[in-house]
């Protein structure tokens, strides 16, 4: 699995450079640069709009008392889309714009949701006394510096 990440990490910049060269030859240097800048600006606007929609859904889920799993998943994908859109390159822009499409996110969520198992866990902790009244016995803590003790074993 690590090999695929390493290969992708090396192949993505090469693919982006190749696409820059192909598009630059087809339409010229200035239109290519303008296209990259415009795609980043348009992606930022779409990201802002969809991000605000997801935040509203997240708030409504939390206020209704339901687990906002879908809203969190959408938020992660929209954040990844924003990162991909702000990276210069045509391949990353296409991936980022694809992640902003709700049907693609729906498909990804349904594909991954079947493989996720929810496990309920509990945590234990110690409470000393009543937290509302502040009473109770606190644990004994002894704080000593190096000068406060000596080793009798010598």
Q: Is residue 82 part of a domain?
A: yes
Is residue 152 domain-resident?
no
Percent of the chain with pLDDT over 90: 18
135 belongs to a structural domain: no
What is the tens place of the pLDDT at every residue in 139-153? 667 777 777 767 676
Within a domain: 136: no
What's the number of domains the chain is made of? 1
Contact (CB, 8 A) for 47 and 81: yes
Query: Exposure string (b/e) for 111-139, b if CB count within 10 Å is 16 or more?
Result: eeeeeeeeeeeeeeeeeeeeeeeeeeeee
User: Is 51 among the domain residues?
Assistant: yes
Distance CA 79, CA 85 (A): 10
Q: Which has more pLDDT, 142 or 129?
A: 142
Residue 154 in any domain: the answer is no
Q: Is the pLDDT of residue 40 over 90?
A: no
Tens of pLDDT, residues 73-122: 888 888 888 888 878 889 988 898 899 888 999 999 999 888 877 676 66
Assigned domain for 36 exists: yes
- Is residue 140 a part of any domain in this protein? no
Q: Which domain holds residue 84?
A: 10-115
Q: What is the pTM assigned to this prediction? A: 0.63
């Amino acid at each position: 699995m690590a090999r695929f990440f390493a290969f992708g990490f090396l192949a993505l910049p090469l693919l982006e450079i190749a696409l820059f060269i192909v598009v630059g030859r087809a339409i010229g240097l200035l239109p290519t640069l303008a296209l990259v800048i415009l795609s980043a600006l348009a992606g930022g606007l779409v990201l802002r709009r969809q991000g605000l929609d997801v935040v509203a859904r997240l708030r409504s889920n939390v206020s209704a008392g339901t687990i906002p799993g879908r809203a969190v998943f959408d938020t992660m994908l929209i954040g990844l889309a924003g990162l991909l859109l702000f990276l210069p390159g045509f391949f990353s822009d296409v991936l980022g714009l694809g992640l902003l499409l709700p049907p693609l996110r729906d498909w990804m969520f349904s594909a991954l949701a079947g493989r996720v198992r929810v496990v309920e866990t509990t945590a234990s902790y110690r409470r000393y006394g009543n937290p509302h009244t502040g009473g109770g016995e606190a644990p004994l803590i002894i704080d000593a510096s190096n000068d406060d003790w000596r080793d009798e074993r010598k």
